[in-house]
Each structure stands twice: as structure tokens, then as C-alpha cells.
A and B are shown apart, each in its own frame.
Chain A
Amino acid sequence: MRILLECKMSSPSLVLALASLAFPPVSCAAQTNVPAPSVDPMIGMAEGHAPGHSRAQDDRPDGARATEPDAGFLDGKVAADYMAVRFADLFVAPVGPKGLQYTTTARELENQRVRMTGFMVRQINADPSVFMFTEAPFSTLEQEYGIADGIPHDVVHALLPPRAGYGSAWQPYAVTVFGRLELGGRQEADGRISYVRILVDHVTVGARHRRIDLLRPLDRRDVNLGPHRHHH
């Protein structure tokens, strides 16, 4: 299906409606780039979009079997503790002639609890517990490009609590990341400098915040393998 985007206006009050992806859930046993065809119905759907309403927030259809450890739903009161932040809130746009500038909103939210909805970047994660996260789906391939890429300037680095032997597995659908917002430059394991990080408490899917666990055993993840190999 096509991802339908709303027109981006040049004013700061950007609204981007993203249609969820109709996509079979990733099977842990799959060793290929795409899940085996005979799997469960999708998460979310996408027929169209309405301004201001993100279909990414919709639940899975009833009866869908969970393929991630189902930790239930995030308590509404807990969720309410996290301020919803959009990617457009992070940096002044358009960008000036040199570097980037955090917005006052971003500065005020530094070290606060925030939640952001977006898409995991499909990449080779040098650090298994860190993934990049963008407003619109994005994929890059470090084997081919190294870190010369077109990754959006407002990419967020999500830092999962590390778990030995496990790493984040890319999911194609929109997720909501809950955690503490950290600003400032920091060199990551792959050499990239991150400027916005979320120290993750929870990851959920859908408007009702069904909790999901993105970590998979390291040897059974899809494309997101360990330290990147530069062997092209």
C-alpha cells in the first residue's frame, strides 16, 4: 500500500498523517528480509487518511495473534505522564545556512518524559540496543553507504535498556516510544552523532498503547544485525 502523506505546510504547525502499514508481523523464526507469507493479519490498516488523525494509532484487528511478547496495554495514567512531542517540535525549520537549532519547545522538554510516534529506521544497528526513529519510514544500508546518507536531520535515537544477547528488531509499522528526552551531541557506536535521544521506558503500538517488546535474540533478528560490516 502506499503511504499517504498530508501536504507539509511551511509553517511550524506541521501535521503529518501517516497511514499504518498493512504488513504481516515479523516472525522470530524468519531469516529472510520479509516474514513468511502465511502469517497473521496485519497490524493497523491504511485505506486513506484524515487530516489530524493518524491511522498509525489504530489497533490491530480483533483476533490477531500477537507475535511479540504481549505485555498488555500501557496504563492510561502512566501514558498521560508523557508529553506528546512531534518531530516538527525538535528543530527550527527551515534550517539556516549552517547547523541546526533546537526549538524552545525542545529545550523546555529536555529531561522530561515524552512520547513520540514514528517509524524505526531500517538499518544495521551497530549497537543492538539503540535504534533510529523517524517521522516517516526510512531505510538505509550501512554496508553500502556507511554513514553518508539522507537520513532526516530530526532523527531520534531510541535507547532501549540493554539486554545481554538481545537487540532491537526492525518493525515496519509505526510505534510510539515513551521515555526521557535527552538533547545534545553524543557519538554513537557507528560514528554518527545523535542530537535527540529518548531513554526508552515503553514502546507501544496503536491508540490504546498495546505494549510491545522490540528486543529479539541477536542471532534471530532480521536485518538489524550487530556491528556493521563494511564489506562491499
Chain B
Amino acid sequence: MRCNCNRKRIVCLATLVVGGWSTIALADPMVTRLNPPSALFAYGDPNPPYISRFVPGQRFDLQATIQADPSANVSSAGFSIDGTPVPGDVTITPIGGDAFSATLRAHSVKRPGVYELTVDSLQSDGAMASATGNFEIVGLIPSPGPSAKNIIFLIGDGMGIAHRTAARLIIGNVQLGKAEKRLAMDTLPYTALLNVASLNSIVTDSAPGAACYSTGNKSNNNQEGVFPDDTPNSEYYGKWDNPRVEHMGSYLARTQGKALGIVTTADVEDATPAAFAVYTQDRGAGTGICDMYLDEAATNHNLRVLMGGGRKWFIPQGEVGSSRVASTTSGGADYVLPGDVAAAWGVPAGAVDPARDLITDFQAAGFYYAADNTAMDAAPANTKRLLGLFASGHMDVALDKIGARRGGPQVGEISAYPDQPMLDEMTAAALLVLSRNDEGFVLMVEAASIDKQAHNMDTERWIADTIEFDRAIQASLDFQAEHPDTLIMVTADHECAGINIIGGTRVDNATLQAKATAHGADGVPGTNDGNLTLRNGVVGTYTDAGFPTYTIAADGYPETFDTDKKVLIGYAASGDRYEDWLTNPAPYVSPVARDTEGDFFIAGQAAGIGVGSAVHTGSDIPLSAGGPGAARLTGVMDNTDVFFTVMQAASHGAQGH
């Protein structure tokens, strides 16, 4: 049970004398959780930084978990803010183990300031428990600065500083110390460093890493749009009843009529896209997440563009290729909301409907459906709603899409889905559709596989995905040139794999290829002496790194990554791997099952049972910004600060101009 320095205990003494016996009952209920989370509740610390912050009018749920005495009930609970009872229904839900969850849904506060939140609960025998926390309403100040009519978040999942540098070294032609060509993301004038810790760890995952931008708040790892609660996953609503924090898309749709667009190269149910539109404690609940995109986001957040992979969630169960499940608790779960959430947030309660034809339902809601790049390009000129589902799961990565377009082998899923768009093509299509909304839009574009390929320590694939991402940024800059009231932010959710630039090759490609099949210095497979042939004399550090040489083809990508002078990348948060510095022919091969002919085994620092790859790191990440509001996106910031700057620029005029 967590220590709660603020709980009040009223001990109720009952004495019963029956036939000479006396019984004394000691009542001791306790509040064990209070949402929104605060240091005041957790540690008794009332001072800033305030963990939970909202803009005026942004909706959020109040929630408390109360541990009652054995066999007792919590009969009622109430919330008050600065001593004033909060109006509205409080729902008490038993959650097992004598615990109860009290919720008051969709509250909002208009006046800026720091507020104390108190919950008071009454047990069936009269014992009471209460607790206090706090939260802040961050004021939006009318400002003469320009407004951000359009807001574009470009998120390179897992993209840290070195991922950006590596891409520049490949396509920027760095010679005599200077890059001849900058990345598109280099041209944005404002730079910040973001602190990325989640609500429950210094190392986050993509769910809190994106939800911070969309809600202005921290979340637990795995959770998007919600605070943690205690209703168990095994219960019907467990994944879906968490206390919600209203998304930016919903708020700006309500208050300004903005539209929302979500574009990713991942399965659209994945954490980063979902963190901009859905509310769940389980980032893997694909059936429910995709249903919620239509049921809530399209209705309440004015979601008008949704593109990526993940078609398998949109196909009715019973048809081959569907991943839809008839469960609210399993992997890939569907959603059903408790009545108080549906009523207070004005959203459908949902249903367990695995046979739902979600593509047809999107079409019925006015979405044009594109199954491939050709169809996306063929969207009619007046298209205002666009659904693109280009693969069953994640889309293929840039290296392989480009390879296939150049007439090379079709690896990954390309032979099944041969006409997948590039991220810059998807971005341009999304901007065209969203710009038809007179009130502007919020667009999130994710280069999802920088992270996925960094996890797999597949150097050339995450670099190529970073190059693809930069091309999507260029498409956004081109749009901004025509629409200067557009705020562009390029950032990440966290860094992945502890990647850094360690040097350059000291041998040419032919030599490297020979070494990669030589089985190490002794020529005997399996002796793991490849460090003598593939590290010593190959990894050029300091001055021996020199300047790499790559030739860029007309399509914007290197003709080959395997040049006579390559950039060499190290991995600090590595899993076990074999390394031969050469491009892997196929994606997703385990790092211990490829490149083995070189016998150069590198033990991973993060490796261990169940860890088959590199992992996220906790370092700060850069953010680059340009446009109205960008001038405040500087310095070292918490990742949640970004939300408030954007909201200021979107609704009351940018500050700092």
C-alpha cells in the first residue's frame, strides 16, 4: 500500500456486548490513488513542477482508488476542488480485493491557477478516508502574436540526435568539416531539448512519448490519453475505463473546428498514432483502438485523415486476414466503455463486434479509402476524408520500398503489398485533404520504423527511414511556404538504441565484403574472433574516420550504403548481435542470426532473456520548430511543455514573437 501522508483516518469504535463477549471493530479505509496524479498526493509535496496540467476548458476525469476494510463497502465518495464540491455524478465501482474506484468524468476548469483536489469517501460502517492532491490550469493569454492555424507534429519515433546526424552524413556530403547540403529538419530555426521521462520511468515508450504532445500530460508506459488506475485488465472495462485527459485534436475541434490527421508508416493501431486520438491503458488493443478512431475521433476530434498500415484491424472477423477479436481483455482487445464515460464524454459506449466491417463503416462516414499509393493519388479533388491502409501490419521500410521501386528484390511484405507510398507522398496527400478545412488542422506524421529498425540494430534501414522522414518534413515545409500560419515541429518520442557515430571504415567495400565472410582471423566459424578482422583495422576512429562518401541517386536516397568509405554506428543500449557493417539484404532478421560469417560477436549491454534487440534510452531528444509559436520552443523543456506552447499559439496567438 502506498504511503499517503495526507490521509485522514477516523477510527470508528463499535462495542458490542452480547452474552458477556465484547467485539471491537477498527475501521481503516485508505485512499491509495488519486487522479490526476500529483507530487502532493504521492509525497506530500505541494510545490512545482505540477505533474498534472491542463489548459482552461480541457476535459479530464477525476478518479480515486479507495481500499476499504475487509468485507466493507465504499458507499459514497465526493471530490472537491479548493474546498468546493465538484458537481456531477460520482460512480463507485468495486474492483476486487476490497478496493473501489470512484470516478467523476469529464471535468474541466476555466480559470488559470493551481488547485487542490480532495476526495472524501464514506465506508458502509461510517469510516471515512480522504486524500488531497493538486493540478494546474495553465492560462492561455491573449497575445498579438500570429496564430497557428495549422499544426504539424512530425515525430521520428526513436530518433535521437545521432540518428539525425547520421542521415546528414549520408546525404549532406560533409567535406572539410561542413555539410554541403542540410537536412530539411536542419532548416527549422528554433531548437529545444526535451526531457522524456514517463509517469513511471526514466525510460519511456512510444505511448507516453506521444501522449505528452497530445494531452500535455505524463502517462504510464503503455498507456495513451489516460492516467493509470487499478481496475484489473481481467475485468470487462479494465483497458478502457482509465481516467481520460482530452486530446488536443478533440479540444481544437470543439473550440475551433480544426480537423485532425494521423499519418504513420506503422500499423495505425500502434502507440504514436493512437496516442493522438484514443484513450486506453493498453497500446496493443488494436480492435478497440481502430474502432475508436471512427467512433470517437472521427466524430468528436474531427479526424479526417488516417493513413498507415494495420489493415488487419479493419477487416471483419471471419474474413481471412482479420485480426479483430471478440474480447475486451485479450491481446488486440475490442472496446466497451462504462456508462459514466460514454455519458460524460458524449461518445458511443462501443461494443464487442469482431465482425464489424470497419473499412465500410469509414466509407459510410464519408472517407475515401485507398489501399495503395495509386489509389491514394487518385483521391478525387474534393476529398475531405481519407483512409489509407497500405499493409496488413506495419508498412515496409524505406530501404526496401526504394529498393523495389528501383527494380531490386521484393523483400519484407512488398511482394504482397507492392504499391506502398513513401512517407513524404502520404504527407503531401494528407496536407491536401486537411487544408480543405477552413478552420485549419492538427496533423501528426510519424516515421515509425526509425525506432523499429534501431531496435533491430539494422543501421542502414533506420538511416534510410530517417532520410524518408526528412523528405516528409520537406513536404511540410513546402506546405508552410504556401501557408505561413502553419506551426511545424520535428521531434521524437524518445531515443532508441543509444545510437552514435563512432567513426568511418578504413577499408574499401570489396575488402569489407571479404572480411565479412572470412570467419574471423582463424578462418574457423564460431570462434568469435571477428573483432580481429572486422573491428581492428576496420573501424576508423578520430582522424581515421575522415569523411564518408555516398552518391545520392535521383530519388534522394544513396545509390548504395555499402560504399568505400562508410559511416560506422555504435549502439549503447544494444542487444546481442553479430556485426559486419554491411547492409542486410532483408529486414527483421534477428541480430544474432545474421552477419554471422564474420564471426564478430558483440555482447549487448541491454541484452538478456527476453531482450532480443536494442532498447529505448532515457536521454533528452531534440525538437526543431518553425512557424507561429516556434519561438517559445527553445531551451530545455519537459516534453509536456510542448502541448501548452502549441495550445497558446493555436488559440490565443503565439507568444515570444
User: A50 at the A/B interface (Cβ < 8 Å)?
Assistant: no
| CB < 8 Å neighbour of B325 from A38, A143, A193 | A193
Q: What residues of chain A lie closer than 8 Å to B394, measured between beta carbons?
A: 148-150
User: A77 at the A/B interface (Cβ < 8 Å)?
Assistant: no
A225 and B325 within 8 A (CB): no
Q: Which of B370-408 contact A (CB under 8 A)?
A: 371-372, 375, 391-396, 408
| CB < 8 Å neighbour of A1 from B411, B517, B601 | B517
User: A83 at the A/B interface (Cβ < 8 Å)?
Assistant: no
User: B311 at the A/B interface (Cβ < 8 Å)?
Assistant: yes
User: B589 at the A/B interface (Cβ < 8 Å)?
Assistant: yes
CB distance from A28 to the nearest CB of B (A): 14
| CB < 8 Å neighbour of B284 from A97, A124, A141, A147 | A147
Total interface residues on B, CB under 8 Å, equals: 91
CB distance from B534 to the nearest CB of A (A): 12
Q: What residues of chain A lie closer than 8 Å to B267, measured between beta carbons?
A: 148-149
Q: Per-residue 0/1 for A153-164: is the Cβ within 8 Å of any B Cβ (1 yes, 0 no)?
A: 110000000000
State which of B126-134, B146-154, B414-422 sits at the interface with chain A.
B414-422
Q: What residues of chain B lie closer than 8 Å to A39, measured between beta carbons?
A: 526
CB distance from A11 to the nearest CB of B (A): 10
Q: What residues of chain A lie closer than 8 Å to B582, measured between beta carbons?
A: 2
| CB < 8 Å neighbour of B413 from A23, A139, A152 | A152
| A25 nearest CB neighbor, chain B only | B526
Cα distance A225–B414 in the bound complex, in angstroms: 31
CB distance from A52 to the nearest CB of B (A): 16
Cα distance A223–B591 in the bound complex, in angstroms: 13
| A190 nearest CB neighbor, chain B only | B331
B526 and A42 within 8 A (CB): yes
CB distance from A15 to the nearest CB of B (A): 12
Q: What residues of chain A lie closer than 8 Å to B393, measured between beta carbons?
A: 148-151, 153
Q: Which of B588-604 contact A (CB under 8 A)?
A: 588-590, 592-598, 601, 603-604
Given A95-B392, A99-B315, CB of A2 within 8 Å of CB of B222: no
B417 and A94 within 8 A (CB): yes
B526 and A146 within 8 A (CB): no
B408 and A32 within 8 A (CB): no
| CB < 8 Å neighbour of A33 from B270, B286, B608 | B608
Q: What residues of chain A lie closer than 8 Å to B593, measured between beta carbons?
A: 21, 23, 122, 137, 139, 172
Cα distance A230–B205 in the bound complex, in angstroms: 12
Cα distance A225–B610 in the bound complex, in angstroms: 7
CB distance from B333 to the nearest CB of A (A): 7
Q: What residues of chain A lie closer than 8 Å to B416, measured between beta carbons?
A: 91, 93-95, 152-154
| A153 nearest CB neighbor, chain B only | B392
Interface SS of B by simple majority? loop
B526 and A46 within 8 A (CB): no
A139 and B586 within 8 A (CB): no
A32 and B413 within 8 A (CB): no
- How big is the A interface, by class? 35 or more
| CB < 8 Å neighbour of B594 from A3, A33, A38, A94 | A3
Q: Per-residue 0/1 for A101-124: is the Cβ within 8 Å of any B Cβ (1 yes, 0 no)?
A: 110000000000000000000101
CB distance from A118 to the nearest CB of B (A): 13
A222 and B609 within 8 A (CB): yes
| CB < 8 Å neighbour of B322 from A6, A97, A99 | A99
Q: What residues of chain A lie closer than 8 Å to B321, measured between beta carbons?
A: 95, 98-100, 153, 195
Cα distance A47–B120 in the bound complex, in angstroms: 72
CB distance from A232 to the nearest CB of B (A): 5
User: A89 at the A/B interface (Cβ < 8 Å)?
Assistant: no
User: A192 at the A/B interface (Cβ < 8 Å)?
Assistant: yes
Q: What residues of chain B lie closer than 8 Å to A153, measured between beta carbons?
A: 321, 392-393, 413, 416
Q: What residues of chain A lie closer than 8 Å to B121, measured between beta carbons?
A: none
User: A76 at the A/B interface (Cβ < 8 Å)?
Assistant: no
| CB < 8 Å neighbour of B320 from A42, A145, A185 | A185
User: A69 at the A/B interface (Cβ < 8 Å)?
Assistant: no
Given A21-B593, A138-B589, A149-B267, CB of A98 within 8 Å of CB of B409: no
User: B318 at the A/B interface (Cβ < 8 Å)?
Assistant: yes
Cα distance A50–B656 in the bound complex, in angstroms: 65
A172 and B320 within 8 A (CB): no
A191 and B331 within 8 A (CB): yes
A187 and B315 within 8 A (CB): no
User: B319 at the A/B interface (Cβ < 8 Å)?
Assistant: yes
A1 and B594 within 8 A (CB): yes
Q: What residues of chain B lie closer than 8 Å to A122, measured between beta carbons?
A: 590, 593, 612
| A7 nearest CB neighbor, chain B only | B409
B525 and A139 within 8 A (CB): no
B607 and A32 within 8 A (CB): yes
Q: What residues of chain B lie closer than 8 Å to A124, measured between beta carbons?
A: 610
Complex A-B, nearest 4 residue pairs according to Cβ-Cβ distance, in ascending order: A191-B331, A146-B284, A1-B597, A99-B321
What are 20 inter-chain pairs, A to B, with CB distance below 8 A?
A: A1-B517, A1-B595, A5-B411, A8-B410, A33-B576, A38-B527, A41-B525, A46-B597, A102-B320, A137-B586, A137-B590, A138-B588, A141-B455, A144-B455, A147-B284, A148-B283, A148-B310, A152-B413, A172-B593, A193-B325
Which residues of A come within 8 Å of B, CB atoms?
1-8, 10, 14, 21-24, 31-34, 37-42, 46-47, 91, 93-102, 122, 124, 126, 136-141, 143-154, 172, 185, 187, 190-193, 195, 222-223, 225, 229-232
Q: Can you add 14 more A-B contacts, CB < 8 Å, to A21-B593, A42-B526?
A: A1-B597, A7-B408, A23-B593, A42-B525, A95-B416, A100-B321, A147-B286, A148-B269, A150-B412, A152-B416, A192-B331, A195-B321, A223-B609, A225-B609
